[in-house]
Structure 1
Amino acid sequence: MGIIVSILVLSFLIFFHELGHFLAARIFGVKVLAFSIGFGKQRLWKKTIGDTEYSIRPIFLGGFVELKGQKDFDPKNRDYSPDSLYGISHIKRIIILAAGSLFNLLLAFLLFLCVAFIGHNDLAPVVGNVDKDKIAYKAGIIDNDEIIEVNGKKIKTWWQLSKIVEDSNGENLEIVFLRDNKEYVVNIMPQIGDSKNIFGEDIKRALIGISAKGEIRTISYNFLESIEYAYFKTIQSSKLIVQGIERLIIGVLPTSEIGGIVSIVTITKQASESGIVMLLAFAAMLSVNLGILNLLPIPALDGGHIVFTTYEMIVRKPASVNAIYYLTICGWVILLSLMILGMYNDITKLLNGSLVF
Structure 2
Amino acid sequence: DALLSPDKPLPLVVERDGGRVPLTVKPIKRTSNGESMGELDFSPSYGDMPVTITRVEEGSGAAAAGLQVNDRLVAINGTPVGAQQDVQQAIQAGKGAPIKLTIERGGVPQEATASVRQMPDGQERLGIGYNAEEPVREAGPIDAAVYAVERNIEVLRMTGNAIGQIFTGERSARESLSGPIGIAQAASNAASESGLAGLIGMLGFLSLNLGVVNLLPIPVLDGGAIFLLFVEAILGWIGVKLTMNMRERIQQFGFVVLLLLMGFVITNDFVKLASNWRNSDTERPAATAK
Of structures 1 and 2, the one scoring higher in RCO (CA 8 A, sep 6+) is 1
